[in-house]
Amino acid sequence: MACTSCTSNKREIKLNNNQWQNFKTIRLDQVLLNTKNIDEIHQQFIKYPQLYQNFYANMIRAGKKEDVLVNRLPEAVKSNLESFVNDSTIKSFLEEIQKEFPDFENYKIEIAKGIKQM
């Protein structure tokens, strides 16, 4: 899970009044599980550049952060992402996440309430 906000201090999340109700969750696990084409995955992940860079460079350790912030992925980067997505352990893990959390709405509300209290 990652939390981001639009403030100058990356460690501070500021939500005023009822802004917590607009808290948005992004299920990139579902993108990885349900999207069969690496280019489509890239188009979804590029909407969240900081998260995408962290995912690629730090979480799956497939390359450098700069590798993914392009309109069209180089073949080597595509190959790295395909290896991750097609890995049987990763697929199994993503399927288990989907079974455990098919609907994230209740968790979203609880997370948003927690953020409001910060």
Query: Where along the chain do its domains lie?
Result: 26-116
pLDDT tens track, the chain, 118 positions: 555 555 555 566 565 666 656 667 788 899 999 988 999 999 999 999 999 999 999 999 999 999 999 989 999 999 999 999 999 999 999 999 999 988 887 887 787 777 666 5
Q: How far apart are CA 115 and CA 36, in angstroms?
A: 34
What is the Cα gyration radius of the chain?
16
Specify whether the CB–CB gap between 46 and 67 falls below 8 A. no
Q: pTM higher than 0.75 for the full model?
A: no
Specify whether the CB–CB gap between 63 and 55 falls below 8 A. no
Specify whether the CB–CB gap between 67 and 61 falls below 8 A. no
- For tokens 């073949």, what's the residue? 75
